[in-house]
Amino acid sequence: MALGNCYPKLDLRDEQVRREQYENAARFRAKWRRVIFGFLGTFALFFIGGELVRPDQEEWLVLAIFLVIFATVISMLFYKCPKCGTVPSGVAYSVTANTASYSKGIHPFPKRCAGCGYYLSKRELEKVLKELS
């Protein structure tokens, strides 16, 4: 992945810019958490729920799984940069014997927004700030 240097420039020495980065990362993290919990909840219901629920109660389990999947899909619709609305995407390469292809997908751990360059990861932001100082 060679996306490192193509972000729009941000002046992290500017305190206002820095504060906006922290806000953006925090807001993105809240969205991110909802998606992850949705996936974990779906898996938990699927594997644990199936063991615990009595056969005559299974329709409730199916309903619960449906609701969690629905909530996850909704939260994925909001999985965007809080600043500009760009969906964090990554590029995946695959090479087989006679084809080479790449596909774009949603990035699960984005560091920065490819659209506006704002930070989506507080850890990444702090790392860069440390390098600056």
**Cross-strand partners of 101:** 94
Question: Which range of residues in 10-18, 29-37, 41-49, 105-113 is near Zn ion by CB under 5 A?
Answer: 105-113
Verify binding: residue 115, Zn ion, rule CB under 5 A: yes
Verify binding: residue 69, Zn ion, rule CB under 5 A: no
- Round to whole Å and give the CA distance between 7 and 126: 17
Minimum CB distance to Zn ion smaller for 49 or for 88: 88
Residue 21: both structure tokens together:
């980065």
Residue type (1 letter), 4: G
Minimum CB distance to Zn ion smaller for 6 or for 95: 6
State which of residues 67, 84, 91, 106 lies at the interface with Zn ion (CB under 5 A): 84
With contact defined as beta carbons under 8 Å apart, do 65 and 74 qualify?
no
Verify binding: residue 114, Zn ion, rule CB under 5 A: no
Dihedrals φ, ψ of 47, to 5°? -90, -40
Q: Which residues bind Zn ion (CB under 5 A)?
A: 81, 83-84, 86, 113, 115-116, 118
